[in-house]
Chains A and B, each alone.
Chain A
Amino acid sequence: MNAGGAIAAGRESGRVAPELMAEYGGLTRAALDRYLDRRENCAFLRDLAADYPRRGGRMMRPAICIATARAFGACSEDAVATAAAIELLHNALLVHDDIEDASLERRGRPTLHRLHGVPLALNAGDALALMSLAPLFENRARLGTALAMRLLEETARTAAECADGQALELGWRDRNVLDLAPADYLEMALKKTCWLAVIHPLRVGVLIATRGAVDPDAYVRFGFLVGAAFQIQDDLLNLVGDESYGKERDGDLWEGKRTLILIRLLALAAEAERERIAAVLACGRERRTESDVRWMRRLIDRYGCIEYARRVAHGLAGAALHEFSRHFAELPDSRDKRFLEELPAWVIERA
């Protein structure tokens, strides 16, 4: 479903999430353009750096940042630079992740390294990561130095969490780690996905609005539960999503990612099946065959791993709603508060 269709469907259902993400996404894109266009055209860099940010995307991260800040009393303008920084860092990490995962598609098009080669793509990713610092420094003028530095510190922590999570996932694949439990997966998702996708936007939104007067740790649980449900839904879409998903179908199996679905399969598979899965995962993507992937995909269905993961995602979304009722309920009613309340449902319903 395209953005216009999603907004129309959202209006019909009384949900604000699609409309608000489009609105705050538009604000963020305008800010992004200022940074992406700032330099004279630099051969082999500017267009590459701008490629992923301009492919679209739902802009969930910046929308959470702006909505949280507004829900706590700030105006959009206070948060839009930080939202742009989040989106720039997110895109930088996507470029690097796609290289590390040898992914083929991103947002419906070939990945950057497939289009331009690994060295140039890597450089564009580095540039995007460094570019994400600029709006954070420019925060000084609007938010003051102390708060701007606090936001930088939060960003540094987020970057460290992301690197930790990505290292876990890559290490598991590199060493063909099979003895994993849901707790391992959730810890990896917490670091790799949840922190940048939800926790960080929430934290900086709260800090911006309250000028650091409120401890943002109170919102980590909500952010984690939403983010974990988001990641599991992403894993599910990789296996069952339609063309609008924008990534290679069954790409996680081709890449050997340790998703909750695969961990569940490894736990339920018979001994002989587990040995064959281990052998398939042990060889690199280039040596994995279509029949290997199809076989694993059938096993996933046979053992009900899809349904299990879906139910866990729903459970996490329910727990997120519980956390919302504990930590956000006393905020004045607003469209932004409703958006945050809708997030747990949105992340597990998105197609």
Chain B
Amino acid sequence: MSANDRFRRPDPVRAAPLRGWSALVRPGGVPESGNDHSGNDRRVSNVSVDEGASASTSAPDAEIADAVATAYRVVDRHLSAGREAARTLGGTSAEFESAAHGADRADNGGFAMLGDGLEELIGEAARAFAGMMPAFAAMMDAVARPPYAGFGALIGQNGIAPSRQNSEAVPGPNFAFEIASVRPVRVTLDLTPGADPATLATTGLHALEAGRPPVTEVAFIPGGAGGRPVLSIRVPANAAPGIYAGAVVDRENGEPRGAISLKVCE
């Protein structure tokens, strides 16, 4: 071939993408993550259902793509209906999120089952619901865990789990948590209804076991990131595993406003 001759590549084996679902998932197994021998990504990804359904596939593949697209339509319609119902009802879950008082939590009596236990069970259900509906307090649980890379919407870079995000539905302050700890910890903040985050104070968290030093770097920050109040706790590196707890009071008048519980895990 002389230098002036035009190079011509052979015709490609195929001229359309392989988008049929059955080509991605083979009978007898789902493709593993990673690359196959030809260097192609074998994981099912980056293919929208609409693309898959409209691709120029053989008839059986088109049927499968159509079935998968139908599945997406069914579940998305279901989700839309659920969201609409939730909007109409005003978010009943928010009511359940409220009013987590210590007395409720301390009760772990269990329930007798079957026969005569059922009355107690139903009664317990009725009491639990009745106790919740009128009271609106802000209750925030947080689990501080090792950081989740790339999971920033949920867990901050320092491994902080913020409180619930549905601030529209939960009356009262919606706290964020800032927790620094080398060990896994679990923090529970219970506040009475109407507690003003601007005036909350605590003297620290004291270990249930005698002789252990308290966790003193505990602070309420009224206007944290995004304007939300923040509960900040720095757990000393040498803090022994165990339960630490402390009262929350209103610094203006000394009235009790709730409690903080900190569990330092092994």
Contact = CB atoms under 8 A, between A and B. Distances in A.
Interface of A: 35, 38-39, 42, 45-46, 49, 73-74, 127, 130-131, 133-134, 137-138, 140-141, 143-147, 149-150, 152-153, 182-183, 186-187, 190, 209-214, 217, 220-221, 224-225, 228, 308, 310-312, 314-319, 321-322, 325-326, 330-332, 341, 344-345, 348-349
Interface in B123-142: 124-125, 128, 132, 139, 141-142
A37 to B, nearest CB: 10
Contacts of B28: 349
Contacts of A341: 33
Interface residues of B, number: 76
Given A138-B108, A211-B164, 7 more contacts: A144-B141, A147-B141, A186-B70, A187-B74, A318-B25, A319-B68, A321-B43
B115 A42 contact: yes
B232 interface: no
Contacts of A308: 60, 63
Given A138-B110, A145-B105, A315 B21 contact: yes
8 contacts: A73-B148, A130-B118, A137-B125, A144-B141, A183-B73, A213-B162, A213-B163, A321-B31
A141 B125 CA distance: 15
B47 A322 contact: yes
A308 B128 CA distance: 50
A228 to B, nearest CB: 6
B150 A330 contact: yes
A149 B128 contact: yes
B139 to A, nearest CB: 5
Nearest to A304: B60
A134 B99 CA distance: 21
B234 interface: no
Instruction: Report which residue of B67, B101, B110 has the largest number of chain A beta carbons within 10 angstroms of its beta carbon.
Output: B67
Give the 7 A-B residue pairs with the shortest CB-CB distance, closest first: A149-B96, A141-B108, A318-B25, A345-B30, A315-B21, A211-B141, A315-B64
Contact of B105 (A144, A220, A315): A144
A151 to B, nearest CB: 9
B75 A190 contact: yes
B101 A314 contact: no
Nearest to B45: A325
A137 B71 CA distance: 35
B98 interface: yes
Given A130-B118, A145-B105, A73 B145 contact: yes
A186 B43 contact: no
Contacts of A214: 154
A161 to B, nearest CB: 9
A101 B229 CA distance: 55
A35 to B, nearest CB: 6
Interface string B63-84: 1110110111111101100110
B121 interface: yes
A134 B104 contact: no
Contact of B97 (A39, A141, A186, A212): A212
Contacts of A349: 28-29
Contacts of B112: 38-39
A144 B83 CA distance: 26
Contacts of B142: 211
Contact of B30 (A183, A217, A344): A344
Nearest to B117: A39
Contacts of B24: 318
A183 B68 CA distance: 10
Contact of A127 (B114, B139, B145): B114
Interface string B139-153: 101110110111100
A29 B110 CA distance: 18
Given A187-B78, A322-B47, A211 B67 contact: no
B188 interface: yes
A89 to B, nearest CB: 14
A253 B151 CA distance: 47
Instruction: Report which residue of B82, B92, B110, B188 has the largest number of chain A beta carbons within 10 angstroms of its beta carbon.
Output: B110
A183 B74 CA distance: 7
Contact of B74 (A137, A149, A190): A190
A152 B149 CA distance: 31
